[in-house]
Amino acid sequence: MTAILIYSDQDGFALELATAARSLAPDQLKAVTVNNDAQAQVLTDAGVDVLKINNDGIVLADVAVVAAVLAQAAEKANADVILLTSNRRGKELSGRLAQLTGAGCLTDVSHITAEGGNIQGRRNALGGATVAMQAINTDKKVFALMPRSFEPASGSGGSMEDLEVNVPAASVKLVEIKEKSGDNVDIEAAEVLVTVGQGLADVSQLPAVEELAKKLGGEVACSKPVATDKKWLSEERIIGLSGKKCKPKLAVILGISGQVQFTVGIRDAKTIVSVNTDENAFMNTMADYILVGDLHQAVEELNSKL
């Protein structure tokens, strides 16, 4: 295996990619940063060798340009494996980069391993109904890894090297940057999630759920219909195939039957507590603790005890 190149525009995710790369080939990791000296320093401090690209002609909002720049970095670093983050931007970037380099591509990979020189990634298959180990057969490979699938890297003794690239003309002109309005909660980062489904009787019951989440030091999340159909919560709080895949230490699941479209987003939680009036709900088969009963009464009693 030649070098493994990693890239993410977020420091934390880049450190997670470094850990993943080290699990494959500890001595062949290289990272690339684009117009981000602070991130280059963070990675260097963690013991990563960094290729630093600084060019005012690179518009980070233009994913096609970023892909072209990374393709050049991979060639100059002699990297045949590229690891990216499987978030919204990373998924687009992985496809563009694979097309430019003639690489095979896997996204939403939650675990990666090398056996006999062959790299395999674990990811959801059949709409999330099962988990499969899949491999890329092409010489060049692009893997997009799910956020928080690996611990952030640490270490010392990294290096930093400037890298010159040819920047193609951008097709996107950045006019203005505005903070995202509305709900900007990051449920993927929460260690505790209190999640509601269609078993919640009325939007007037949400404050009690929010109170419980606050007392537990967590965030409120939901199944898709609660956000898209009932509009009770923002789409940033959806768990599942249509939303976020989360790995909290504790997930309290309130009134959710457990359809696969939802469970793929929460099954990696360390501890799952299911509250449901239906003792045969599929969600209960995944739960570590089960309470058969009315969620509203359960929330009220928990709030009174905490």
The three-state secondary structure class of 263 is helix
From CA 31, how far away is CA 223, in angstroms rounded? 36
pLDDT value for 182: 67
Task: Please report, in tens digits, the pLDDT of each residue of the chain (306 residues total).
Answer: 589 999 999 999 999 999 999 999 888 999 999 999 999 999 999 999 999 999 998 989 899 999 999 999 999 999 999 999 998 899 999 999 999 999 999 998 989 998 877 899 998 877 767 788 999 999 999 999 988 889 999 988 899 999 999 999 888 887 887 776 667 888 988 999 999 999 999 999 999 999 999 999 999 999 999 999 999 999 999 999 888 889 899 999 999 999 988 998 998 899 999 999 999 999 999 999 999 999 999 999 999 999
CB count within 10 Å of CB 94 equals: 25
From CA 77, how far away is CA 50, in angstroms rounded? 10
Q: Which of 152, 188, 2, 6 is nearest to 84 (CA)?
A: 6
Can you read off the two tokens belonging to residue 19?
């850990």
From CA 231, how far away is CA 209, in angstroms rounded? 16
pLDDT value for 181: 66
Full-model pTM: 0.80
Residues 6+ apart with CB under 8 A from 37: 52, 54
Q: Which of 295, 38, 4 is nearest to 145 (CA)?
A: 4
Q: Fill in the amino acid letter for 229.
A: D
User: What 8-state DSSP symbol labels residue 27?
Assistant: T
pLDDT value for 77: 94
Q: Which of 97, 110, 115, 103 is nearest to 149 (CA)?
A: 110
pLDDT value for 304: 96
